[in-house]
Structure formats: structure tokens, C-alpha cells
Chains A and B, each alone.
Chain A
Amino acid sequence: MKKTALYLLKIYKIFISPILHQALGVKHACRYLPTCSEFAIIHVKKDGIVIGGFKSLLRVLYCQPFAPSLPRFLKK
């Protein structure tokens, strides 16, 4: 299960993300480093699908101009 999730994340990062960038017409969109997909790969590996996935989802929700500064546990 965890392996599948990691594969899907990698497929997103390598294949879907560049296509999405082109469809939206913007090259850079990531507000934080590591990018959310990299963050998700690291944390699904470390904390599992549920906690790692939840953290990643939270991080994506922080990726907008009105968000407060990123909490420590979502930084890297």
C-alpha cells in the first residue's frame, strides 16, 4: 500500500506535474521547498500513508497567499 502510494507520488512528480504546469501556463508555482510532492514522498516514507498523507495535504493547503507562515512540522 505504502509502496503504491510512493509510486503514485513519483508518477505525479515526474509525469503529471510538468504537464499541469504547461496547461496552466506557469513554470513556477511552488511556494515552499522542498516542494509538496517531495515533502509527501519523504513523509509517506517516514510516517506512513495516513499521517504522511495528512501532513502533505495540510502543506498543500498552506500553499496560498493568505496562509500564515508554515508551521515547523510542515517545513521539511
Chain B
Amino acid sequence: MNIFSIFNLVLVHPIINALVLIYHLLVSLHVPYALGFSIILLTVIIRAILYPLIHSQLKTSKKMQEITPHLNKLKEQHKNDAAKLQSETMRLYKEHGVNPLSGCLPLLIQLPLIWGLYGVLQQVVKTDPKAVLAYVNSALYSPSLKLTHMWDTSFFGLSLGQTPSHLLSSVGFLILLIPAATGIFQLIQSKMMFAVQEDKMKDVEKDAVKTKNKALVKEVKKEDDFATAFQNQSLYIFPLMIAFFSWTLPVGLSLYWNTFTIFGILQQYQISGLGGLESWIKKINPNR
């Protein structure tokens, strides 16, 4: 048994079964565009399963951002005494009710799940009926779930299996709205989590200049190196990458990624409000 068959057994097959089950349910309820809505529903269910993992992380993240200026001051005050810095940091955490972050491993669990869902959807939205039926039916747990005929891959007039780049000639320039929307949703989510940190850093810098703390100014400036520059630019680079993928991959996958991102935006809003997006909204509407 190789790694791919384990991946299929543990992730891919359960995802296919869940998708087909939702599809049958929607068809029995006479919901139009059942495949498209099954993709949306399955993504929401998976996001809901991941909800607690991200929720605690986002909450701690928000508190961490709030205490960053204090933390930087502590770092400066006790830069030669690691033990003191550690105990003072712990005291600060306790004072502000911050639990240490749950770490990256719980977050990384998401990656195979995102990848598995992507792999399944890439197969099931294909336009060749024989290939889709063979792929789906071979993975089902119960014969009662079997698909007897090819599902309808259209969704509000668009074929979920076609890429926007192919649809350009038949649909026209309106199809550009799909990669554009995918990129914009991603940008909104990234901006919500990004710029608050950036603004806080500026606060620390201003504070340091005001108190004539030269060492702290130097430290803050040092942060402004290439890595930080790329990190700030990645706010735009990642959404552009996603928009490009959305342009070259089947529409069904954009539907999945947009559902995934919109859920993320709502979860982020619920915990930390508009976050970094607020500065953009203020620029557009200064009276807000």
C-alpha cells in the first residue's frame, strides 16, 4: 500500500461519498444545479468541521496583535536577560488572558483536506461522462449511492467542468468576473488578517521615536528588510495567484475556493471585525 492509496482511503473516498450523498439528497429535493450546490454544501461542511481549529487560533492571534507593542517594549527592556524576558512575557500573557497559540500542527491538518477536496472536484467536474462515472462509482461505499447516469455539470448556465479561459469565446468578457471575484475575495480575507499587524508596527515605531528609544527604533527598522517587504507584497501576490488559478482551472473549483474563502471572511469578521480592511474602507469613505 503506497502513500497515494492511503490518501485515497482516508481522505479522497470519504469526500467522494459525502459529495454523492449530498448530490442524491439535493436531486431528491428537486434542487436545480444539484452538483454546484453539492460542492458548496460539502465545502461549508468541511469548513464547519475545521471551524474550532481556526477559531481558537484567530482569537489568540487577535489578542497577540493587541499586546505586540507591550511585547516589543519588554523585548527592548530585557534584551540581555532571556530568563527575565520569558517570565515577564508570561506575566503579560496572563494579564491579558492570552493562551499560547495552539501551534501550527493543528492548522496543517487542513492542508491534506483542502488538497483532497481539490483532487476530488477536479475529477468530478470533468466533462467526459464515462470517466466521471467510472471514477465516482469505483469509490462508493454502498451500491445504493451509485450514479446510473452522468450528472448535469451546468451551474446557472456555466459548465462547472470548463475553465474560464475556454469559456471566454462562448460567454464573452463577463467570464472574467469569475477569476476577478475569486482574487477579490481572497484579497479581502488576506487584508482582514494582514494590515492590523502592519499598523501596530507603525505605532511601535512612532512610540519609540517619541521616547527617543534609539535601540528600539533600530530594531523596528531592521524588521523592514526583504522578508518583511515580501510579506507585505504577498498580500497582493497570493490573491493574484489565486485569480490566475481560477482562470486556468474548471469553474467548479473556483466555486469551491470562493465558498471556502467567504466562510473564512465571515469567521474572521466574527472574531476580529474588519481588521486591516477598515483602513481601506476609511480611505473610500472618510466619514465612516
Contact = CB atoms under 8 A, between A and B. Distances in A.
Do they bind each other?
Answer: yes
Interface of A: 13-15, 18-19, 21-31, 36, 60-65, 67, 76
Given A19-B238, A24-B110, A30 B226 contact: no
Contact of A27 (B82, B194, B238): B194
Interface residues of B, number: 38
Given A15-B230, A19-B238, A64-B102, A25 B61 contact: no
A63 B264 CA distance: 23
B280 to A, nearest CB: 17
A64 B102 CA distance: 5
B253 to A, nearest CB: 14
B227 A14 contact: yes
A18 B189 contact: no
A50 B31 CA distance: 57
A54 B212 CA distance: 43
B227 A22 contact: no
22 contacts: A14-B230, A18-B230, A18-B234, A19-B234, A22-B190, A22-B235, A24-B110, A24-B111, A25-B189, A26-B57, A26-B61, A27-B61, A27-B197, A30-B103, A30-B104, A31-B100, A31-B102, A31-B103, A61-B105, A63-B103, A64-B104, A64-B105
Contact of B103 (A13, A27, A64): A64
Contact of B107 (A13, A15, A26, A76): A26
Nearest to B260: A25
B101 A30 contact: yes
B64 A28 contact: yes
B107 A24 contact: yes
B193 interface: yes
Contacts of A76: 82
A14 B232 CA distance: 11
B248 interface: no
Contacts of B101: 28-31
Contacts of B238: 18-19, 22-23
Contact of A65 (B102, B110, B237): B102
A41 B267 CA distance: 34
B58 interface: yes
B264 A25 contact: yes
A47 B84 CA distance: 27
Given A64-B102, A64-B103, A64-B105, A25 B230 contact: no
Contacts of B100: 31
B60 interface: yes
Interface string B49-66: 000001001101100110
Interface in B103-136: 103-108, 110-111, 114
Closest 5 CB pairs of A and B: A63-B103, A64-B105, A31-B103, A18-B234, A65-B102
